Amino acid sequence: MPTYDPHKSENEVRQGNSRKMNSRVLIVSLVAIVVLFAIVYLVNGAMQPPAS
């Protein structure tokens, strides 16, 4: 594997992602799950009959 940084070894070049795409995917998916649960909760609450 060619390295374009003379101060890094092949192992260091393969490690990590400078753009942090993994973190972005995790954060976006977590926010999406929270929003979906909120929508389900609101729809469920709106469909309940009024308490008597």
Predicted structure pTM score: 0.58
Write down the pLDDT at residue 11.
72
9 pLDDT exceeds 80?
A: no
R_g of the chain, CA atoms, integer Å: 23
Among candidates 1, 24, 23, 22, which has minimal Cα distance to 12? 1
Whole-angstrom CA distances from 40 to 19, 31, 45, 46, 48 are 33, 14, 8, 10, 13
Which tokens in the block code for residue 30?
């977590």
**Element at 15 (helix H, strand E):** none
Gap between the Cα atoms of 14 and 36, Å rounded? 36
1 pLDDT exceeds 60?
A: no
